[in-house]
Amino acid sequence: MPVIKSIEELEKIREQAKDMINLRVDNETKTRIVVGMGTCGIAAGARAVMLAILDELKKRNIDNVIVTETGCIGLCQYEPLVDVIQPGKPKVTYVNMTPEKAREVVVKHIINNQVVDEYVVPNV
């Protein structure tokens, strides 16, 4: 961090620094992406999916999204599962995720607010 010479510079640094603590405040109002990380999920490649999501969020500078994990919910054959939960909206569950599909979900669902219908959970 450089020497801060003016109020404007201080404000600029504040904006940048907000990312550092963002995760600790106002978590109720943020969108959550939940990756299934039970044994089944991990075996099906959930780690790579999670890393792809984090990478895509970072690339696009999105900081108001929480990425978290959950255990097995019983749909093991459809793993890796990814839930997108936006405040005030019903939960959307995506199945058989791959890193590529996950990146697509971040772009279409998180940024453009379009549910990616072809990946959502079928009526089982």
- Reading phi first (left if > 0) and then psi (alpha if -120 to 50, else beta), residue 83 is in beta
Pairing mode of beta strands 65-70, 82-85 = unpaired
Note whether 123 binds another protein by CB under 8 A.
Answer: no
Which span sits near another protein by CB under 8 A: 49-57, 78-86, 89-97, 101-109?
49-57
Note whether 37 binds another protein by CB under 8 A.
Answer: yes
Rounded distance, CA 65 to CA 117, Å? Answer: 21
Which span sits near another protein by CB under 8 A: 61-69, 85-93, 99-107, 115-123?
61-69
Q: How far is the CB of 87 from another protein (least distance, A)?
A: 14
Residue of 90, 91, 88, 56 whose CA lies nearest to 70: 91
Note whether 74 binds another protein by CB under 8 A.
Answer: no
